[in-house]
Amino acid sequence: MKVFKIAAVAMCAIMITATSCREKTEKEKLIDEMEANGAEIKEKRDGDEYKLKMETEDKEVKIKEEDGETKIKIDSDSK
């Protein structure tokens, strides 16, 4: 029983370490950046299609996911 407890604790430690070290995707980085800049965020889900639109005064980001494919469009206003 003691061996089982030690093995369980070791497995939990490995899982926590592996998930906390992963790199953020470009999508996650953009969402974090836009949220930090106070962007207006709109989400739309239609079946298997997912759209995310984020806007600030000087930047607009659109993310579209469909059939496992992610498309990212970034427009920066240079006024």
pLDDT per residue of the chain (79 residues) written in tens, 0 to 9: 788 888 888 887 777 766 556 677 888 888 899 999 899 999 999 988 999 999 998 899 999 999 889 999 999 875 4
Contact 34, 75 (CB under 8 A): no
Please indicate, yes or no, if residue 75 is contained in any of the structural domains: yes
Contact 38, 59 (CB under 8 A): no
Please indicate, yes or no, if residue 13 is contained in any of the structural domains: no
Please indicate, yes or no, if residue 11 is contained in any of the structural domains: no
Q: Which domain holds residue 59?
A: 24-79
Other C-beta atoms closer than 10 Å to the C-beta of 41 total 13
Number of domains in the chain: 1
pTM as predicted? 0.64
Please indicate, yes or no, if residue 49 is contained in any of the structural domains: yes
